[in-house]
A and B are shown apart, each in its own frame.
Chain A
Amino acid sequence: MSEKTINVSDAIHDALVEEMRRDPSVVIVGESIQRATSFGITRGLLTEFGYNRVWDTPIAENAIAGLALGAALTGLRPVPIIMIGDFIPYAMEIICNEIAKYRYMFGGNFKVPITIRVGAQGAGAGLAAQHSQCLEAWFIHVPGLKVVYASTPYDAKGLLKASIRDDNPVLFFEHKFLGSITGTIPTEDYTVPIGVADVKREGEDVTIVAWAFMMHKALNAATELEKEGISVEVIDPRTLYPLDKETILQSVKKTGRLIIAEEAPKTGGIGAEISAMVNEEGFDSLDAPIMRVAAPHTPIPYSAALEKLWIPNVKDIINAAKKIVT
């Protein structure tokens, strides 16, 4: 099996191209994707697949989602992109009340094979409160939606392919700072199954669950902590719903300690969900209180200094670990 080095953006590009070649029902929908002005991910797709499969839309997230739903109901397999994920609230009605519930409410007579790419998540680029959020937590609360979030090129390509091939709606989250992160992937076709976590680093003393950009911060923290004799296991859930509970519980059984690190306000976050799950299903494994590393409950500041202060960082993870590993 041959491999190649690639970054996350290109891995997503490749996944789109390969899936569109593989399945003529795959169409992509979004703002300015024909010219690929934003992040360049959809470059070359118009040339190869034409206007019938690469649809530009107005700046109207609700229209993008609605269009995708209609297309899916007619038998297509749309991959809409919400370019700036912060504006997904415009499409909430379509996503949460229609896309999520259609298959259920029509007794399974319709399939809704939509993969909604939620783009440009994350703070740190000085883009202020409306262009910097990580909103994945909103969607795990909605039955009918799957939520995936890749942190590496391998996972990004494999998960996007699996999402596109899934007959149910999937939200595929993308982070601003992950695009340029590189890694190796096979040149052959592969998928990463939805609902399966990945142990990114094995360790003995504490489990850190982190995804997306925070996963990389967790790995950096693990390297630092190792110097101080603390052995860290880093788990990337990759799918936030349905969560791979077993991998997390097994890890906590081994380490007895759990930290969940996420780049969003702590209240009502994914960390709260994972913490509660481990408390319910893995209490007897715990040797210390579960810790959450997350952002403050405030809008993301525009001031660069304050924004830096707001974003949970490697040091925060290290401090949390030291607090519970004695």
Chain B
Amino acid sequence: MITQVVMPMLGWTMKEGTIVTWLKKEGEKVEKGEPLLEVETGKIVKDIESPGTGILRKILIPEESTVPVSEVLAIIAEPKEDISTLQNTLEKAKVILETPQVASVEKMESMMTKKTTVKVKISPVAKKLAEKHDIDFNRITGTGPNGRIVRKDILAAIEMTKVMPRVREVIPLVGIRKTTADRLSFSYRTAVHVTVTMVMDMSEMVKLRKKLLPEIEKKKHIRMTYTDMLVKAVAKTLEEYPIVNSTLKDEEIKILEDINIGVAVDTKAGLIVPVIREANTKSLIDIALTTKELVEKARSGNLALDEITGGTFTITNLGMFGVDQGAPIINPPEIGILGVGRIAQKPVVVDGKIVIRPMMNITLSFDHRVIDGALAARFLKTMKQKIESPSDLFENN
């Protein structure tokens, strides 16, 4: 029996997936339910089980390729079974989809990358020349007989690339990088970003953290971070400003009941935003515990899809790298994101005197389509009050 292996839908929002690894080789025997390949989507990697038993006869989609959900990835069949018809149909469809159509500027750039997909007619000397100069001849239209790419075409391409910087390395835009690129460029194109910054006096927070740290460390063996405290602060502020805890999608502003705070985490694989659910109802210790667990999972690549979806508002903290202030891009479909800077000792005027205080900039990027500047300012003001007199906020830890 012929079984087609397709790109599975691993979550409701999944549109496409990237093949990370084929765990079986062509010609190898596979059992139904046995892990067959690893698929990455929306920043998580999952083992996919074989949908049938037989021989993995043909892998149609190679590793590192991104394809839409339900695209056929491979064919499993009996050893002698004829799969040529199916294979031909699938491969033809693939060639049509992948035939390059590029405009001139893109052409210049893409010619400098190298990836073979479709069989191209090219003369031996042209091919050698292209390889020597790192020209992707797949993107060149040949002017030779029957459209063959000839030396002249490569020489012209080399001329074109002379104005371009030399390429050291080409990294395919796949997986997390691709997700990040897609989501953030969508956000930047659609959300009307406005940024407001407010300086916060962190004296009380610093004092409070100093007081709580040993206690929490002793009880839970974790080191509570300023980010944990800010998650709580922003979650509580959001309770007072429901409109900021909303999404804008398809001409609808949806004010959300749950306050789920995403925390941007830098991992080797890229930016991941695990979500702390109902952060407003969690104690500081719970937030710290959850955050710690999620960050560890994010860094080891073990997050489940539901741990990175469903966020309603995001915090990104670059203070630990010495950043004073940044204007973050909104994580869609959310409408606000908080950028946190470092805590720095600064001279400030208090009661007519210059004193040294630990100060921190908090920046709110918001979608002006949903909220206005005054509201954003009030939101920050409330947050400032909470941060500068934090004892209420963390009454029960």
Contact = CB atoms under 8 A, between A and B. Distances in A.
Interface stretch (A32-40, A283-291, A302-310): A283-291
Interface string A283-323: 11111100000000000000000000000000000000001
The residue among A286, A287, A288 with the most chain B CB atoms within 10 A of its own CB is A287
A284 B145 contact: no
A286 B125 contact: yes
A180 B144 CA distance: 41
A256 interface: yes
Given A284-B128, A287-B150, A287-B151, A326 B123 contact: no
B143 A288 contact: no
Contacts of B151: 256, 287
B314 to A, nearest CB: 55
Contacts of B198: none
B62 interface: no
B126 interface: yes
B150 A326 contact: yes
How big is the B interface, by class?
10 to 19
A108 to B, nearest CB: 42
A286 B124 CA distance: 6
Contacts of B144: 287-288, 326
A324 interface: yes
A285 B143 contact: no
Given A256-B151, A326-B150, A285 B125 contact: yes
Contacts of A288: 123, 144-145, 148, 150
Nearest to A253: B125
A116 B373 CA distance: 104
Contacts of A323: 145
Contacts of B145: 288, 323-324, 326
A223 B145 CA distance: 23
Contacts, number: 33
A324 B150 CA distance: 10
A54 to B, nearest CB: 54
Contacts of A326: 143-145, 150, 152
Nearest to A322: B145
Contacts of B152: 287, 326
- Majority SS at the chain B contact face: helix
A92 to B, nearest CB: 39
Interface in A258-289: 283-288
A285 B150 contact: no
B143 A287 contact: no
Interface in B91-130: 123-126, 128
A283 to B, nearest CB: 5
A177 to B, nearest CB: 33
The residue among A283, A288, A324 with the most chain B CB atoms within 10 A of its own CB is A288
A155 B372 CA distance: 95
A324 B143 CA distance: 11
The residue among B126, B150, B152 with the most chain A CB atoms within 10 A of its own CB is B150
Interface in B227-281: none
A280 B89 CA distance: 37
A287 B124 CA distance: 6
Interface string B145-161: 10010111000000000
Interface string B130-152: 00000000000001110010111
B137 to A, nearest CB: 13
The residue among A283, A323, A326 with the most chain B CB atoms within 10 A of its own CB is A326
Nearest to B150: A287
Given A287-B151, A288-B150, A326-B150, A256 B123 contact: yes
Contacts of A324: 145
Nearest to A323: B145
Contacts of B123: 256, 286-288
A284 B128 CA distance: 7
Interface in A43-62: none
B150 A284 contact: no
Contacts of A256: 123, 125, 150-151
Nearest to B128: A284
Nearest to A279: B124
B120 to A, nearest CB: 15
A323 B144 CA distance: 9
B357 to A, nearest CB: 72
Interface in A232-265: 256
A241 to B, nearest CB: 26
B230 to A, nearest CB: 63
A283 B143 contact: no
Closest 4 CB pairs of A and B: A287-B151, A287-B123, A287-B125, A286-B124
19 contacts: A256-B123, A256-B125, A284-B128, A285-B124, A286-B124, A286-B125, A287-B123, A287-B125, A287-B126, A287-B151, A288-B123, A288-B145, A288-B148, A288-B150, A323-B145, A324-B145, A326-B145, A326-B150, A326-B152
Given A287-B125, A287-B144, 7 more contacts: A284-B125, A284-B128, A285-B124, A286-B123, A287-B123, A288-B123, A326-B145
Interface of A: 256, 283-288, 323-324, 326
